[in-house]
Every structure is written in structure tokens, then in C-alpha cells.
């Protein structure tokens, strides 16, 4: 598991991380509700021979919400996927430079694109009062679609927190002063 404990906390990152952690704790309840809906749906289908499209759609919606809201928590808690076998062999300074470039060149532009293009997607669904095309499906399709920009705004907050911590480590921290000469080729 990668460890970002070398990154210093700042007042901004601490506030954002506290908020993202709270969202993560609240979001974790969704997985329990999802499990209950799945069990109920299976019981209805196989014990009572009664399938319910509402429960199937609710499963998809709960999974989507859990995933989209969980992205920010996974990034903030540093439990997201990376090539740890390479990453763990690098010095903290090299890891910080890679993190900085990854955030600026890849993650922030991707998040911006998703947010920019998802807002009209949600607005269109809301304007059309979109509902499920399935008979007995769930109404308010725009509501589930609204979690796309919400999830990515939360991810943006988590990324800003990490960016502040990386920036502080690379350019403002006195703790890494001895590492500057050893890893000068990284930047």
C-alpha cells in the first residue's frame, strides 16, 4: 500500500480531508442498503417468483452513488490504485513530483471535462423530466445523473487537498531539505 504520510498537513487540506472523510463514512451506509436491496430482490425473485424492476434499478442507482461518492474518499485516503511495486521504491520527493505532474497534467483536466460535460447531461434530463423507460421503473432519472458532477466535485476537492499537500512538501517544507540534492533529477 502506498503511503502519503510524508506529505505535510495544511489547514486547507485538513479541513477538506475532514469533510471528505465524513462523506466517506456517510457513503459507507449505501453499501449496507445496497446489500439489503439485493437480498430482498433475490428473495422476491426466487422464493416468491416475483421480480421487481424497481429493486433492480435501485441496485444500479445505489451502486452508482456509492462508487461516485467513494472516489473522493479513496483518493483522500490514498487507497486508489497505482503501480505500487514501482511507486514504493521511489523516494518521497520523486513520489511527490510524480503526484504533482499526474494531478496537473491528467487528473485535473479529466475532472474538469467530466464536470463540464455532465452538467448539461443532468440539466437535459431534468428539463425532460426523464424517467426510466422500463415499466415500473424509477422516476427522477435526473437525480441519479446528478451524482456524476457531485461525485467529481468531491473528487476535485480531494485532489485540491492532495495538491496543496504535495505543493507544500515540494516547495515550502523544511522537512525535505536534505532530499533536494538526492532527488534533484526528479524535477
DSSP letter for each residue of 66-81: HHHHHHHHHHHTT-S-
- Terminal C-alpha separation, the chain: 24
Whole-number pLDDT of residue 55: 87
By C-alpha distance, which of 104, 108, 86 is closest to 95?
86
Whole-number pLDDT of residue 77: 85
pTM (two decimals): 0.84
13, 163 contact by CB (below 8 A): no
Q: Which residues of 143-176 are buried (b: 16+ CB within 10 A; e: fewer)?
A: ebbbbbbbbbebbbbbbbbbbbbbbbbbeebeeb
How far apart CA 133 and CA 139 sit, in angstroms, is 9
Whole-number pLDDT of residue 138: 83
Residue ranges covered by each domain of the chain: 11-186
Whole-number pLDDT of residue 3: 61
How far apart CA 15 and CA 164 sit, in angstroms, is 12
**Residue 13 to residues 16, 75, 125, 187, Cα–Cα distance (Å):** 5, 13, 34, 23
**Residue 8 to residues 19, 20, 149, 170, Cα–Cα distance (Å):** 18, 17, 29, 10
Whole-number pLDDT of residue 136: 76
Whole-number pLDDT of residue 177: 45
Which residues neighbour 186 within 8 Å (Cβ) at sequence distance 6 or greater? 91, 93, 94, 97
Whole-number pLDDT of residue 181: 43
Q: For the chain, which residues score pLDDT lower than 70?
A: 1-4, 80-85, 87, 174-187
Whole-number pLDDT of residue 183: 46
Whole-number pLDDT of residue 132: 85
**All three cell numbers of 71:** 472516489
Whole-number pLDDT of residue 71: 93
Amino acid at each position: 500500500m502506498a503511503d502519503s504520510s510524508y506529505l505535510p498537513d495544511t489547514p486547507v487540506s485538513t479541513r477538506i480531508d475532514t469533510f471528505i472523510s465524513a462523506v466517506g463514512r456517510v457513503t459507507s451506509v449505501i453499501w449496507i442498503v445496497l446489500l439489503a436491496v439485493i437480498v430482498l430482490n433475490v428473495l422476491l425473485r426466487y422464493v416468491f417468483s416475483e421480480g421487481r424492476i424497481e429493486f433492480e434499478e435501485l441496485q444500479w442507482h445505489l451502486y452508482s452513488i456509492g462508487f461516485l461518492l467513494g472516489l473522493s474518499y479513496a483518493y483522500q485516503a490514498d487507497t486508489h490504485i497505482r503501480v505500487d511495486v514501482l511507486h514504493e521504491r521511489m523516494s518521497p520527493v520523486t513520489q511527490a513530483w510524480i503526484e504533482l505532474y499526474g494531478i496537473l497534467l491528467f487528473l485535473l483536466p479529466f475532472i474538469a471535462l467530466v464536470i463540464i460535460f455532465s452538467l448539461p447531461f443532468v440539466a437535459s434530463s431534468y428539463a425532460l423530466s426523464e424517467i426510466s423507460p422500463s415499466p415500473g421503473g424509477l422516476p427522477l432519472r435526473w437525480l441519479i445523473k446528478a451524482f456524476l458532477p457531485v461525485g467529481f466535485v468531491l473528487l476535485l476537492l480531494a485532489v485540491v487537498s492532495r495538491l496543496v499537500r504535495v505543493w507544500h512538501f515540494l516547495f515550502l517544507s523544511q522537512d525535505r531539505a536534505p532530499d533536494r540534492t538526492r532527488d534533484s533529477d526528479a524535477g
